[in-house]
A and B are shown apart, each in its own frame.
Chain A
Amino acid sequence: MTNPLTAPRGAPIIAVSNLVKQFGRFTALRGVNAEFDAGKFYVILGDNGAGKTTLLRALAGLTDPTRGEISILGKKPHEASRDLGYMAHPSLLYDEMSGMENLLYFDKLYDIAGNSRCEQAIQAVGLDAELSRPVGKYSQGMRQRMSLARAILHDPKILFLDEPFSNVDLHSAREMVGLLKGMRDAEKTILVVTHQAALLEGTADEFVWMQAGQIVDRTNHLARGHLAPGDAPAGEP
């Protein structure tokens, strides 16, 4: 593998080999093999139980594989944490603080200089940095956008997003897609798990289809013979 840190766009920076994850008797991932290239936008699709969230969590270092290897930028996920951003359906934010306060705190965890990054991140997701309302009182769309701001705060090279658009109003969702497109154009690698893949048709570089703990197909367009159950038709929030 070429040196991942200076790899040009298109070289693999995430490599997964024979990844198995079992929770007791239940197998979530059955030997996943995949490579993901730098600077590309991937969408991971599949039914409930296909293993999408487990795969993303394993890549982010939140779950230890039962067997198999994960290499991100040539390192293990825990070692590459500086360059990873993660967002999930729970907001990963403190409900009692305002958006800016939340970001100022998470800023400290990444040991980077400050305030201006936080403001930029909030503005990038289309929210008001001055807003003093606590995050708990945000609408779902605002909360997801603030969660995204937290994920991109430290300017990570790789973004993992798990269901970023669920229960989000169409306007917010489209704004987020636009933002993600901009990030991909700026050479970030993005992996999104979603049931609303139609939102990403035209933006995503590749669609990765999962079923029963394995990757079964990879396509350039959102078509695989039929829409998998659970995929929302275009436009439905």
Chain B
Amino acid sequence: MKRAFPILAVLTALLLVYAFYQALWVAPTDALQGEVYRIIYYHVPSAWTAFLLFFINFIASVQYLANARPSTARAARWIVIAIGIIGFVAPFIPQVKQQLPTGMYPSSVATTFLIITGLYFVIGKYFVDQDLDVLAVTTAEVGVVFCSIVLVTGPIWARPVWGIWWAPGDIRLTSTLVLWLIYVSYLVLRRFSDSAQTQKLAAVLAVFGALDVPLVYFSIWFFRTQHPQPVIGGGGSMDPRMLHVLLISWMAFLCFAFLVCWSRYRLEKLSREVEEAEALESLLEPAGLAGPSSAVKTPLSRGSK
């Protein structure tokens, strides 16, 4: 494990450099936007990475809450399996197929749901109890960083191309902003809560946030159909060479995100181990050594019995 990190770090650095080269030199110039569009190779992969991280956070939070009792843990697992099966089969049913937005293939929707279910069980297998919470904290923090990149690069891109910094009707950018706000409030809650149950409260907030996201999407979507606004980032098809570079860039970002998460995860686990060791020490401290020195250490000595 210890050797893998530097190797991976070097590989990631190389990949990032390669992606940079591809983005700025190899990728063709855009017909409409000129060279400015190249920021897309940072804007879009950051968004995809952030969404993936937040999604992992959501799964970890749900599992953390569900695992409190065996009955709820079982129920949650069955629900996830049901979602996977329905999500896999539904896109191929004609009525549902019609509802899909243009450009979305049924097979990709089906695989996405399968991945969701798979991810739930993979995370459940490798992360248990407290580890789920550590994973939640890690993905939330790193996710917020990548989300910030999206929100900064978005307006930087918009200004020279469309002449505006921001369009409230831009569904993707605005949804990303709300997601960013939710997760910043998540991090603030974790920092400001001094309860023994901070982790449970944070997991509850993550669930609320996840429930909120589709509602945000729909509210902005309908707002935009009523008030047509410029769409930053453009829709529509993409030159396959550009898509190629985009995927390379995403790969590099994912590796980078993985490295950062890995470091943060290890850091958090170590810090919790230190806390546990200190708690254990305090537990084993023989009675009688309690005196002025320990009275100063304990935060709850006033009024406690």
A–B contact at 8 Å CB threshold (below): yes
Query: Is A12 among interface residues, defined by CB-CB distance under 8 A?
Result: no
Chain A residues, CB < 8 A from B300: 23, 26, 28
* Chain A residue at minimal CB-CB distance from B282: A27
Within 8 A of B (CB), among A175-196: 193
Given A49-B290, A49-B295, A212-B288: A28 in contact with B304 (beta carbons within 8 A): yes
- When the two chains form their complex, are residues A51 and B282 in contact, meaning their CB atoms are under 8 A apart? no
Please state if A27 and B305 are interface contacts (CB–CB under 8 Å): no
CB contact under 8 A between A24 and B299, given known A212-B287, A212-B288? yes
Are the C-beta atoms of B283 and A27 separated by less than 8 Å? Answer: yes
- Chain B residues 201 to 237 lying within 8 A of chain A, measured CB to CB, are none
Chain B residues with CB under 8 Å of A25's CB are 275, 278-279, 282, 297-298
A52 to B304, CA, bound (A): 8
Known: A23-B196, A25-B297, A211-B287. A48 touches B279 (CB 8 A): no
A46-71 interface with B by 8 A CB criterion: 46, 48-54, 64
Q: Which residue of B lies closest to A48 (CB)?
A: B305
CB <8 Å contact, A49 and B301: yes
Contact between chains at A30 and B305 (CB < 8 Å) = no
Q: Is B298 within 8 A of A49, CB to CB?
A: yes
CA distance A64 to B200 in the complex (A): 13
Please tell me if the beta carbons of B287 and A46 are within 8 angstroms of each other in the complex: no
Query: Is A102 an interface residue, CB under 8 A from the partner?
Result: no
Are B282 and A26 within 8 A (Cβ)?
yes
B295 and A22 contacting across the interface, CB-CB below 8 Å:
no
- A26 to B290, Cβ gap below 8 A? no
Chain B residues near A162: list those with CB within 8 A.
305
Partner of B305, one of A26, A31, A52, A64: A52
Q: Does A20 contact B (CB under 8 A)?
A: yes
B287/A214 in contact, CB under 8 A: yes
Select from chain A the residue with minimum beta-carbon distance to B278: A25
Whether the pair B279, A51 counts as a contact (CB closer than 8 A) is no
Please state if A49 and B287 are interface contacts (CB–CB under 8 Å): no
How far is B295's CA from A48's CA once the two chains are assembled, in angstroms? 11
In the assembly, what is the distance between CA of A79 and CA of B301, in Å?
31
Are the CB atoms of B283 and A54 closer together than 8 Å? Answer: no
A25 to B196 alpha-carbon distance, docked (Å): 12
B residues near A22, Cβ cutoff 8 Å: 279, 282-283
Contact across chains for B283 and A30 when beta carbons are under 8 A apart? yes
Contacts of A27 in B (CB 8 A): 279, 282-283, 285
Contacts of A50 in B (CB 8 A): 305
User: Are B299 and A51 in contact, CB atoms less than 8 angstroms apart?
Assistant: no
Q: Inside 8 A of B301's CB, which chain A residues have their CB?
A: 48-49
Query: Within the complex, what minimum Cβ distance (angstroms) separates A169 from chain B?
Result: 22
Residues of B within 8 A of A51 (CB): 305
Report which of B196, B279, B298, B305 forms a contact with A193, defined as CB distance below 8 A.
B305
B195 to chain A, nearest CB (A): 10
In the complex formed, the residue of B with least CB distance to A213 is: B287
- Chain B residues in 8 Å Cβ range of A24: 275, 279, 299
Nearest-Cβ distance from residue A60 to partner chain B, whole angstroms: 14
Q: Which 6 A-B pairs have the closest CB atoms?
A: A212-B287, A52-B305, A53-B305, A26-B298, A27-B282, A27-B283
> Please, could you name 30 A-B residue pairs with CB atoms under 8 Å apart, sorted by A?
A22-B283, A23-B299, A23-B300, A24-B275, A24-B279, A24-B299, A25-B279, A26-B282, A26-B297, A27-B282, A27-B285, A28-B304, A30-B284, A30-B287, A31-B283, A46-B305, A48-B301, A48-B303, A48-B305, A49-B298, A49-B301, A49-B304, A53-B305, A54-B305, A64-B196, A162-B305, A211-B287, A212-B287, A213-B287, A214-B287
